[in-house]
């Protein structure tokens, strides 16, 4: 009895994280509401405390707890601009990656669309790791996806709000570990070991840039980012990546100089679902590469080569930066299709993070006309032009200017990238005496950072707690994922495959009511291939998974929708109303499935039907109803052809999910398939 097995051992099977996700979304929504309410109350209080005609804020626009408001960009102005741009930019990228991982198609299609293609042609070690990852995802589709979402959002949030504090540094360290995992498995080591790797499709991997930036932020303290050495490292990294792009594009062994290899790169991007205005230039580039691959490949090889060499031999001249930026923008659009389109994009691809490196190197002073040995330079000109603020001089080796002392001390209170020399004598941030032992300014924030910003900390704890909540069921299945051969899937875990029914007896008679209130009998489906299942309308474990797999079968057989039907019989004697089955259909997107029928009746009528099909149902005192998860395949002549049950008992190895398995069976029974 598959239903009983799932109820008894839910974490070890395919724990449906729907309730967990609903709870976490409710928690985060509540935190957001509290945060907005807190901001409104403070704003009202600040306006009420201000004298007549005054704004309640000093000229700098930033106040402590006793004031009215802070400029949200104060932390950006105070810290070294290149470091701040990297921290804010890559924190936002991790947040974006987490949100992309939450797309509806991810639980079902991530393995087929991302993991398995990434493992093609990889070395044995990476291939074995990929096998384990595919098996884990297949065993826990929803839970593993939820774990990935919460983990990446938690990393991004921690990097954004943690600054150079413990939260920020722990989040950067976590991004190094998780980024390495994603690079090896999700990106297949950036396709460096496969044939046909090109920067235009993401080689050597966007997450590799994430990892490198996190290591740089951890290794180089904030006080060392104004002397241009960190900016030079960024510039060398961009130049090296551009030369690698040129090398991969120009190697004859990669096959881009002839045939359709280069055209296929652009064509793959053009086929993503997107507005025609975005797809038209990509299609035009694919046609051009198909008609004259030598000229097109020479162009895509020469431009990064020239830009890379130019950046490495000169101190970021504007021409080199402009050429590199133009190449990155063109590659991001025409080759990578912005990385986020199509429903299964997991990140914006490599061009955008490399562009952030280029911008950070320029903002770090390498774009100025001052010599590299200058001790004093204009502070953050690009930032101040953007924000409409006047620039102030700052010492290039990290020693703070007296003009900016107060702002930098305030930045310590904000928690994002402060210069360490301006901290109080006690070493605290935003508390204790000010620079050089002066007393704190009136209205300055006091107390620990986590006490001044509790909502930031609570939100970080909620995100990390969500990730940890999803971790146990995945770890529980790790031994099995390691032990199983490649291709373990939902159908493989839950059944021994489709078993042929000897003699193909006629389907038992029944008369039940469907979700529209119409009476249905087996004769209603004569001439069609029928998939008949037994589902609990209030189940939150395996029944939704089976139902959604049947909906996927309908999608795979959409060209034969008049020749197939999908029938579910209510398996819960306590929930037999039309409202219950309609709610189940609506929750799991089944209302639009062609020829979907969810049948119910009185408990006595249902029990008689269960007995005819050999289905068993037991009502537990606590928890879900335990019931047989039988799925019958009935031929067009009204005879039972095959059956499967989610028992968890090992059986013949199958390397497809329920949807593909049922679609293949239907194809063998349809007269015109």
Contact 174, 102 (CB under 8 A): no
* Least confident piece of the model among 102-116, 167-181, 272-286: 102-116
- DSSP letter for 567, please: E
Q: How far apart are CA 2 and CA 490, in angstroms?
A: 13
Phi-psi region of 70 (alpha: psi -120 to 50; beta: other; left: phi over 0): beta
Highest mean pLDDT out of 352-356, 384-388, 542-546, 581-585: 352-356
Please give the torsion angle defined by the CA atoms of residues 356, 358, 359 and 365, in that order, rounded to the nearest 10 degrees: 140
* pLDDT in the model for residue 364: 79
Pick from 101, 97, 83: nearest CA to 213: 83
Helix ranges (H only) for 351-477 are 351-361, 381-387, 405-414, 449-452, 454-476
Both tokens of residue 10?
A: 């839910």
Both tokens of residue 187?
A: 């990106």
Q: Please say if the pLDDT value at position 408 is more than 80.
A: no
* Least confident piece of the model among 229-238, 278-287, 493-502, 517-526: 493-502
Q: How far apart are CA 186 and CA 136, in angstroms?
A: 13
Q: How far apart are CA 254 and CA 505, in angstroms?
A: 57
Contact 626, 4 (CB under 8 A): yes
Return the SS3 of 546. helix
Q: Please say if the pLDDT value at position 58 is more than 50.
A: no
Contact 618, 572 (CB under 8 A): no
Share of the chain above pLDDT 70, in %: 71
Q: How far apart are CA 241 and CA 247, in angstroms?
A: 10
Please give the torsion angle defined by the CA atoms of residues 4, 9, 12 and 18, in that order, rounded to the nearest 10 degrees: 70
**In DSSP terms, which residues pair with 500 in a beta bridge?**
642
What pLDDT digit, counting tens, does each position of 195-204 carry? 888 999 999 9
Q: Please say if the pLDDT value at position 136 is more than 90.
A: no
* pLDDT in the model for residue 2: 39
Q: How far apart are CA 79 and CA 380, in angstroms?
A: 9
Contact 434, 441 (CB under 8 A): yes
Q: How far apart are CA 559 and CA 159, in angstroms?
A: 48
What pLDDT digit, counting tens, does each position of 559-591 carry? 888 899 999 999 988 889 999 999 999 888 888
Question: Omega into 204 within 30° of 0, i.e. cis?
Answer: yes
Contact 508, 612 (CB under 8 A): yes
Average pLDDT of the residues in 519-529 = 91
Average pLDDT of the residues in 308-316 = 81
Report residue 389's pLDDT band, with 50, 70 and 90 as the boundaries.
Answer: very low
What pLDDT digit, counting tens, does each position of 23-51 carry? 555 655 666 676 677 677 766 765 554 44
Question: For residues 508 and 372, which has the higher predicted lDDT (pLDDT)?
Answer: 508
Write phi, then psi, for 484 (nearest 5 degrees): -70, 150
Q: How far apart are CA 219 and CA 252, in angstroms?
A: 38
* Least confident piece of the model among 179-183, 291-295, 299-303, 460-464: 460-464
Average pLDDT of the residues in 304-329 = 89
Burial class (CB in 10 A: 0-12, 13-18, 19+), 169: middle
Task: Detail the DSSP E strand segments found in 4-92.
Answer: none
Return the SS3 of 584. helix
Q: Please say if the pLDDT value at position 63 is more than 60.
A: no
* pLDDT in the model for residue 54: 43
What pLDDT digit, counting tens, does each position of 146-155 carry? 889 999 999 9
Helix ranges (H only) for 50-121 are 74-78, 81-101, 106-110, 116-119
| Cα angle 487, 490, 496; round to 5 | 85
Q: Please say if the pLDDT value at position 214 is more than 80.
A: yes
Q: How far apart are CA 250 and CA 555, in angstroms?
A: 42
Report residue 429's pLDDT band, with 50, 70 and 90 as the boundaries.
Answer: very low
* Least confident piece of the model among 264-273, 278-287, 483-492: 483-492
Largest CA distance in the chain: 94
Q: Please say if the pLDDT value at position 425 is more than 70.
A: no
Question: For residues 242 and 102, which has the higher predicted lDDT (pLDDT)?
Answer: 242
Report residue 392's pLDDT band, with 50, 70 and 90 as the boundaries.
Answer: very low
Residue 534: Cβ within 10 Å count: 28
The mean pLDDT of the chain is: 76
Write phi, then psi, for 194 (nearest 5 degrees): -100, 170
> For 492-669, CATH number?
3.40.30.10
- DSSP letter for 335, please: I
Return the SS3 of 596. strand
Report residue 119's pLDDT band, with 50, 70 and 90 as the boundaries.
Answer: confident
| Cα angle 197, 104, 174; round to 5 | 60
* pLDDT in the model for residue 341: 84
Contact 415, 449 (CB under 8 A): yes
Q: How far apart are CA 303 and CA 331, in angstroms?
A: 11
Q: Please say if the pLDDT value at position 629 is more than 90.
A: no
Distances in whole angstroms, Cα of residue 128 to Cα of each of 341, 481, 484, 488: 29, 11, 11, 14
Residue 376: which H helix or E strand, with range? strand 376-378
Pick from 521, 549, 559, 535: nearest CA to 627: 535
* Positive/negative CA dihedral, 600, 605, 607, 609: negative
Phi-psi region of 192 (alpha: psi -120 to 50; beta: other; left: phi over 0): alpha
Residue 237: Cβ within 10 Å count: 19
* pLDDT in the model for residue 76: 52
* Least confident piece of the model among 171-175, 300-304, 390-394: 390-394
* pLDDT in the model for residue 621: 54
Both tokens of residue 425?
A: 């004598």
Question: For residues 556 and 413, which has the higher predicted lDDT (pLDDT)?
Answer: 556
Pick from 585, 596, 589, 581: nearest CA to 531: 596
Question: Omega into 83 within 30° of 0, i.e. cis?
Answer: no
Contacts of 502 (CB under 8 A, 6+ apart): none
Write phi, then psi, for 442 (nearest 5 degrees): -60, 135
Spans of all domains in the chain: 492-669
**In DSSP terms, which residues pair with 600 in a beta bridge?**
513
Average pLDDT of the residues in 348-374 = 76
Pick from 644, 639, 572: nearest CA to 614: 644
Q: How far apart are CA 119 and CA 121, in angstroms?
A: 6
Residue 88: Cβ within 10 Å count: 18
Report residue 502's pLDDT band, with 50, 70 and 90 as the boundaries.
Answer: confident
Alpha-carbon radius of gyration of the chain: 30
As a whole number of Å, the end-to-end CA separation of the chain is 33
Question: For residues 215 and 35, which has the higher predicted lDDT (pLDDT)?
Answer: 215
What pLDDT digit, counting tens, does each position of 430-487 carry? 444 444 344 444 444 456 766 777 778 888 888 888 888 888 878 887 887 787 666 5
CA 537 to chain centre: 30
Q: Please say if the pLDDT value at position 546 is more than 50.
A: yes
């Amino acid at each position: 009895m598959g239903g009983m097995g799932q109820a008894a051992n839910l974490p070890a099977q395919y724990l449906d994280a729907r309730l967990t996700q609903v709870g976490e979304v409710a928690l985060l929504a509540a935190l957001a509401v509290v945060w907005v309410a807190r901001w409104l109350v403070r704003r009202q209080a600040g306006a009420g405390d201000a004298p007549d005609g005054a704004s309640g804020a000093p000229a700098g626009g930033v106040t402590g707890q006793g004031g009215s408001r802070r400029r949200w960009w104060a932390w950006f102005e105070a810290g070294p601009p290149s470091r701040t741009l990297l921290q804010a930019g890559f924190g936002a990228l991790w947040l974006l990656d987490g949100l992309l991982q939450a797309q509806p198609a991810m639980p079902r299609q991530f393995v087929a669309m991302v993991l398995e293609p990434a493992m093609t042609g990889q070395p044995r070690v990476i291939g074995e790791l990929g096998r384990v990852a595919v098996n884990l995802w297949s065993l826990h589709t929803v839970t593993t996806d939820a774990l990935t979402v919460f983990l990446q959002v938690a990393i991004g949030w921690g990097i954004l709000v943690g600054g150079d504090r413990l939260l920020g540094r722990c989040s950067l360290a976590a991004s190094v570990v998780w980024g390495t995992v994603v690079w090896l498995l999700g990106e297949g080591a950036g396709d460096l070991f496969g044939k046909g790797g090109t920067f235009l499709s993401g080689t050597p991997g966007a997450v590799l840039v994430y990892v490198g930036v996190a290591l740089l932020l951890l290794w180089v303290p904030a006080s060392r980012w104004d002397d241009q050495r960190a900016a030079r490292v960024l510039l060398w990294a961009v130049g090296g990546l551009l030369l690698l792009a040129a090398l991969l594009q120009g190697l004859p062994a990669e096959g881009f100089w002839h045939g359709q290899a280069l055209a296929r790169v652009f064509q793959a991007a053009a086929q993503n679902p997107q507005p025609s205005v975005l797809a038209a230039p990509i299609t035009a580039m694919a046609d051009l590469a198909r008609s004259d691959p030598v000229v097109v490949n020479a162009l895509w090889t020469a431009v990064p080569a020239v830009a890379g060499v130019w950046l490495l031999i000169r101190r970021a001249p504007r021409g080199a930066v402009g050429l590199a930026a133009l190449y990155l923008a063109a590659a991001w659009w025409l080759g990578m299709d912005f990385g986020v389109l199509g429903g299964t994009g997991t990140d914006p691809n490599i061009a955008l993070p490399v562009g952030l490196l280029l911008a950070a190197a320029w903002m770090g002073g390498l774009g100025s006309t001052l010599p590299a040995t200058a001790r004093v330079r204009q502070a953050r000109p690009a930032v101040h032009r953007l924000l409409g603020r006047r620039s102030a001089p700052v010492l290039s080796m990290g020693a703070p200017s007296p003009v900016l002392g107060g702002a930098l001390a305030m930045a310590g209170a904000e928690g994002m990238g402060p210069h360490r020399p301006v901290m109080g004598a006690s070493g605290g941030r935003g508390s204790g005496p000010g620079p050089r032992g002066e007393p704190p300014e009136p209205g300055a924030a006091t107390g620990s950072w986590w006490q001044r910003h509790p909502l930031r900390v609570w939100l970080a704890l909620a995100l990390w707690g969500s990730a940890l909540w999803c971790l146990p069921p995945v770890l529980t299945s790790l031994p099995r994922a390691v032990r199983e051969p490649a291709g373990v899937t939902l159908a493989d875990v839950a059944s021994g495959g489709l078993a042929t029914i000897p003699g193909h007896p006629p389907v038992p008679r029944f008369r039940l009511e469907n979700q529209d209130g119409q009476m249905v009998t087996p004769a209603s489906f004569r001439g069609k291939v029928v998939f008949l299942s037994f589902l609990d309308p209030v189940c939150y474990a395996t029944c939704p998974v089976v139902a959604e797999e049947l909906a996927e079968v309908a999608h795979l057989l959409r060209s034969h929708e008049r020749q197939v039907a999908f029938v579910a019989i209510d398996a819960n004697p306590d929930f037999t109303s039309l409202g219950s089955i309609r709610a189940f259909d609506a929750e799991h997107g089944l209302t639009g499935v062609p020829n979907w029928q969810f049948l119910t009746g009185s408990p006595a009528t249902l029990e008689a039907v269960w007995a005819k099909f050999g289905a068993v149902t037991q009502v537990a005192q606590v928890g879900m109803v335990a019931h047989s998860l039988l799925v019958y395949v009935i031929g067009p002549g009204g005879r039972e052809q095959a059956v499967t049950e989610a028992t968890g008992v090992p059986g013949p190895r199958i390397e497809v999910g329920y949807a593909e398995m049922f679609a293949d069976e239907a194809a063998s029974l349809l007269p015109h398939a």
